[in-house]
Amino acid sequence: MKDLRVKIFADGADVKGMVEMYAKPFIKGFTTNPTLMRKAGVADYRAFAREVVSKIPDRPISFEVFSDDFSEMERQAKEIASWGSNVNVKIPVTNTHGEPAYALVKRLAHAGIKLNVTAVFTLEQVRDVVAALDPKTPAYVSVFAGRIADTGRDPMPLMAAAHALVHVHPHAELIWASPRELLNVFHAEAVGCDIITVTNDVLAKLSNVGKDLAQFSLETVKMFHDDAVKAGFSL
């Protein structure tokens, strides 16, 4: 993994798990979202975020706004940005009515707020997000390659094209978001993505990288046998 150019960001909202990932030098940053936070049982957004920033003060962390109103999104974004110099504010590319957030992105970026524009799926969205960003302000553009793959489309050509669009901006980085398997890390590397967000369950498979397949086969056979014995099956 040390030879990879793509940076791995741990994706989750369990503080204990995030701190465990922080201890690993190959984890270069962190992302969260309201869905992950809800699954982790987070009740107090502000308290959760402040605890995370206090324990992870020196690697990028993205926290997302949750309003559906652009003026309220802007207020939330400014507060979230104040939580730490390592914080990026996640802004969805549209609200739930499909209204684009480009004007908000432009205001925030030109105010010097580091953004992570999220839930991006199309090249048109990538183009318009990049056009709204401030050339002087760092930003992430999160393209949901895993969800694109869920539609039966190969995300690789789209991500390669997105890379070209994002890198017109001097300080923007492309994120391969929502990976479905460990192989996606190598897909992201192949198309030149700057970052891939990876959940802890996928990160747990890192020990399998380069594993001997015959040995893996034997371990799998033993797993099936052991589980049959533990279940007490008989015929």
Catalytic residues: 90
Matching residue, tokens 């984890």: 27
Q: In the chain, which residue ranges form alpha helices assigned H by DSSP?
A: 15-22, 34-39, 45-55, 70-81, 102-110, 123-132, 145-149, 155-166, 183-191, 200-203, 213-231
Matching residue, tokens 């701190």: 19
| Token pair recorded at residue 105 | 């992105």
> Strands 172-176, 61-64: parallel, antiparallel or unpaired by DSSP?
unpaired
Decide: residue 179, CB within 10 A, 0-12 exposed, 13-18 middle, 19+ buried: buried
**Number of residues written out for the chain:** 235
